[in-house]
Structure 1
Amino acid sequence: MSDYSKKRFLVIDDQPMAREALRTVAQTIGAFAVEFASNYQDAIYRIRNNTPDIILCDYVLGDGRSGQQLLEELRRFNLLADEMIFMMVTGEQSYEQVVSAVELVPDDYIIKPFSPDKLLLRLDRIMAKKEFFREYYQEKRRQEFANALAILEQHRASEAGRPYRFEICRQQAEVMLISGDAEGAEAAYRDILENYEFPWARAGVARSLHRQNRLDEAREEIDRVVASTPTFFEASDLKANICMAQGEHGEAQQILDEVAKKTPRNYLRKRQLAEAATLNGDTETARAVMSDIVANDTMPGAVTPEDRLALARSQIDARDLISAEKTLIGLKESDVQNLALDEQASYAALLAVSSPGRGKPRFVGLRPALMSAHLGANSRLDILRSALSLGDHELADTQAKALLVGEEAKKSFGAMRKHYALHGREQDFRNIQKQVALKRIHHDETPRADA
């Protein structure tokens, strides 16, 4: 049994009497340091500034917030270390919502009212698991993935690891995926599915296939998960990403819109929705969603310069150039200078479109780098748009060729075609497509030197 007198407890509940009751139960099992948080924001502040060992969080936090949303935010901002315990406290009326959530599950849940003995039993069980995986957690946090996998393999072969066999397999697959071994992760997830049809394992296969750009196979796998487990919203996110990669932006937007309505405070999902809407040509939805994110994603540091670029992009698409200029010049010059080249290029390109007098000199100054740099799809689309508006056909065509040979060609194709059409260069775009296709055919037919 663990010594809970040395553990820091945080009790999160919006009701004073409930907080006192939870503190009494915690003290009965030996807890000495017990802090309170009365609401969602208070909880995040306390976790940031005085990291607890054990969190007892009520499911209903008031103000439309839930313990599940808090758990999402803690994981999103890496505020919940693997060693920490997050236990959801729920009434019977909320029990179904807690246990039906397939994604971002707490370490455990407990239905109130409950006795100190019951809490002690649950905590002892979780503490034993955390201790079992402690060395693995440390190596994963250091990104020493080979060491982490070696520890997991030792655990898998041990008698002590038998109660955790599926968790060990899951962690092995996750580490492979994080470290870039998508093929190894796929094999590991498939091994799990041979024993049990876990939705998360089937989704893991789909994620692994997506990383390998095997999109049709990934789509087939994730369709099965979404159909069988409608509450697994992360699976819907993945399906939408795969749809976007396949160029099916309308379907991606529809999927994300439906899930976002059920999870209105999940701003990561809303960012994905805004991207899908942008690619689908739904400028009003993209602008409304990005405006909501910038105004209401209140976690410190949550709204980034990249978000403001996305908002400006949506405003330009909606032909609201005045708002786009205001959004862009609202960024501090020091923040712009600290951006990666991708984002600096997007900033200059978007500013050149929304405010040519301010933005054109910066954009032209970056041109030599933009002709040869390795850039992301969003930045290339921004550069292409700006180059077309300035009549710089060489720069625009360079970006189009790079996009067409890249892994996100299907995802970007509709937007490229739209921009070329707006400037009366449809035939030029078709010629670029032919050039890229012929080059690919020639490359595929060229005998390899070691053949």
Structure 2
Amino acid sequence: MEQQELTASDKLNVLIIDDQVLVQNVIKSALFELGIENVKCAENAYYALRLCEQTTFHVVICAFNVKSDKDGFHLLEELKFKRHVTKCTVLIFLSAETSEHLVNSIVELQPDDFWVKPLSSKHVQNRLPVTLEVKRTLFNVYQAIDRQDYSKAIYFAERHLLNTGLTKYHMQMKRLKGECLLHLREFADAAVYYDNLLQTHKISWVYLGYIKALLEQDKLADIQALLQQLTDKTDTRFATYDMLAHYYIGKQDYEQAYKEIKKASQLAPRNIERNKRLLDLARLNHDHAGQYQATIAMAKYAKNSIHDSPLLRLNVVRSGIDYATTLDKADAVKVLNQTDILLTELEKQLPLANQLKDQFLVVRARLHTAREERTKAESIVDNHLSLRPTTSVDDNLDKVKALHELGRREEAVSLLDAIKRQISGTGLTNQVVGKYIEQEAAERTAVHFTPQQLNRMAVEFFKRNKFHAALNSLEQAFSLTPNNMNVALNILKVLVALRNQEPLDEGHIALAKNISQQLKHAELEPEQQQKFTEYQQQLQPVLE
């Protein structure tokens, strides 16, 4: 695309993507009044993509609700990925919805404008020329950004800023310059730049750029008060949480990173890459419920997008089994039944069943083990599974779990060692996954059973008044499920029984205090709170 193509209305190619004929007609009528005649309409994403393969569009107007296939977010994501939409394209998003979730998702795609339905012809005629003029005026800046030549983009922006005739475009130029400084990783210069802007422009994107520049320089302490202000504001809270998650991953504070990314994901749930980070952090933080929900969200939001894959639905099954092994039997049965239904659906899909045959067998074996059908699980592992690692880390991890759950610890740990060698690169995602693999290796070497198995063992030991053995099993279970308050309460229950039998030693007292502190800050059900109060009263002499 060249700059002169945006100057003549009769030469502009416009694509309208909306499943409502009335909306298409309103926009087309307004465009014809502006002298724009080369207009194509698509009522679904499939047709829109076909049109983009045939024509270079200067203006793309896309609705959020696109009939039958993709939503507008994932369609625009794909159009950008395939370079049908670039920084030089005028991109306008349409929606009747203005919820915080949707607006956050749209902001991530950085459209040039956002039009709220229902539209009027006058609205289109007033807004489009302004947006086109900005794009024409700053075309050389956008083109340099498209080419990732950020130094040249800054050069052009600074030249435009010296032109008093372009004063009304100065804010756009200043914003682009700041973004380019961040892309160039010139964080000290960027911090000074944004700090100077804040003296006169106290607006959202300036604050966010300033925060990013300081976080990248590890200056979190300098902006604590400002961070609180920004997380209180609707238009900045999402981006702030997302930046904080990135920061804490870099600092290897994975617990805090998980807290921040959960908030960001709730505010903008459609971004699949963020959901992947959420999943990795959930696994690392032993949040099996969060892991399960993250895989469900990924499968849901990725449907029909460029991220869609049967492996996403398979991961729901895998995380469902992981989650079930942490639950009481009644709750575990419900989750396992849901995962069985999904797995059976996947197994019926051809040619998928042949492509993922080995992965399905591993998951089926794990499902049998979780249902205490050990003989069936062992038959699959003995007769159908190769212990050699494949190229997929997730597939290998699932195989490790299948072996470990059957008590084949040496084979599981050997395969984990092979997986460690597969993790390469210095990116934050690889950093989190690498840490998770280390954690898995350590835990599966030290702990020989699933949380569910350990809980059952503890119950049997407790019934036989073997309180030390029961406590040992529960401590191991709690190390694998540190967010499970039922396990925490059972530890206090055993400590109460042990105290009635003999004086508690220093280690037991420290454990009682730590567990009590965690329970104090947890959100407990009424029945759990009642038990906690009861155990606290009985342990009060040692808790003081």
- TM-score normalized by the length of structure 1: 0.66
Taking structure 1 as reference, are residues 145 and 386 closer, same or farther at Cα in structure 2, changes over 3 Å only? same
Taking structure 1 as reference, are residues 297 and 225 closer, same or farther at Cα in structure 2, changes over 3 Å only? same
| C-alpha distance in structure 2 between counterparts of 1:40 and 1:228, whole Å | 34
1:26-45 pair list within 5 angstroms: 26-39=31-44, 42-43=47-48
1:42-441 pair list within 5 angstroms: 42-43=47-48, 46-47=51-52, 50-58=55-63, 61=66, 80-89=85-94, 104=109, 106-109=111-114, 113-115=119-121, 119-217=124-222, 219-229=224-234, 232-242=237-247, 257=262, 260-261=265-266, 263-294=268-299, 296-303=301-308, 314=319, 318=323, 329-330=358-359, 346-347=393-394, 350-351=397-398, 353-356=400-403, 364=417, 376-388=430-442, 391=445
- Percent identity between matched residues is 20
Mapped contact 2:208–2:236 kept (Cα < 8 A): no
Amino acid at match of 2:129: D
Deviation at 1:297, TM superposition (A): 0.2
Where 2:41 maps in the other structure, the secondary structure is strand
User: Structure 1, unaligned stretches of length 5 or more?
Assistant: 332-342, 393-416, 422-451
1:296-319 Cα shifts (integer Å, max 9, x gaps): 403543157997998698568537
| C-alpha distance in structure 2 between counterparts of 1:346 and 1:213, whole Å | 32
Report the structure number with the largest CA radius of gyration: 2
Amino acid at match of 1:354: K
Mapped contact 1:40–1:70 kept (Cα < 8 A): yes
Taking structure 1 as reference, are residues 309 and 154 closer, same or farther at Cα in structure 2, changes over 3 Å only? farther
* RMSD (CA atoms): 4.9
Mapped contact 2:239–2:264 kept (Cα < 8 A): no
Amino acid at match of 1:274: L
Mapped contact 2:7–2:136 kept (Cα < 8 A): no
Where 2:88 maps in the other structure, the secondary structure is coil
Amino acid at match of 1:159: T
| C-alpha distance in structure 1 between counterparts of 2:283 and 2:135, whole Å | 43
| C-alpha distance in structure 2 between counterparts of 1:21 and 1:71, whole Å | 22
Taking structure 1 as reference, are residues 179 and 258 closer, same or farther at Cα in structure 2, changes over 3 Å only? closer
| C-alpha distance in structure 1 between counterparts of 2:52 and 2:432, whole Å | 35
Amino acid at match of 1:190: D
Mapped contact 1:7–1:53 kept (Cα < 8 A): yes
| C-alpha distance in structure 2 between counterparts of 1:304 and 1:320, whole Å | 26
Mapped contact 2:64–2:73 kept (Cα < 8 A): yes
| C-alpha distance in structure 2 between counterparts of 1:239 and 1:137, whole Å | 28
| C-alpha distance in structure 2 between counterparts of 1:310 and 1:207, whole Å | 33
Taking structure 1 as reference, are residues 328 and 266 closer, same or farther at Cα in structure 2, changes over 3 Å only? farther
| C-alpha distance in structure 1 between counterparts of 2:107 and 2:169, whole Å | 18
Mapped contact 1:250–1:277 kept (Cα < 8 A): no
Aligned length: 385
1:225-274 Cα shifts (integer Å, max 9, x gaps): 12133575333323444466667767665665566555554444433443
| C-alpha distance in structure 2 between counterparts of 1:52 and 1:4, whole Å | 13
| C-alpha distance in structure 2 between counterparts of 1:364 and 1:10, whole Å | 52
1:126-178 Cα shifts (integer Å, max 9, x gaps): 22221222222222222222222222222222224422222222212211211
Match of 1:407? Answer: none
Match of 1:408? Answer: none
Mapped contact 1:87–1:110 kept (Cα < 8 A): yes
Match of 1:435? Answer: none
Deviation at 1:197, TM superposition (A): 0.8
Match of 2:27? Answer: 22
Mapped contact 1:156–1:168 kept (Cα < 8 A): yes
Deviation at 1:2, TM superposition (A): 3.3
Amino acid at match of 2:113: D
Taking structure 1 as reference, are residues 316 and 377 closer, same or farther at Cα in structure 2, changes over 3 Å only? farther
Taking structure 1 as reference, are residues 307 and 64 closer, same or farther at Cα in structure 2, changes over 3 Å only? closer
| C-alpha distance in structure 1 between counterparts of 2:78 and 2:224, whole Å | 28
| C-alpha distance in structure 2 between counterparts of 1:305 and 1:210, whole Å | 37
| C-alpha distance in structure 2 between counterparts of 1:199 and 1:283, whole Å | 36
| C-alpha distance in structure 2 between counterparts of 1:73 and 1:221, whole Å | 35
| C-alpha distance in structure 1 between counterparts of 2:425 and 2:114, whole Å | 50
Where 2:87 maps in the other structure, the secondary structure is coil
User: Structure 2, unaligned stretches of length 5 or more?
Assistant: 1-5, 327-335, 348-355, 361-389, 447-477, 483-544
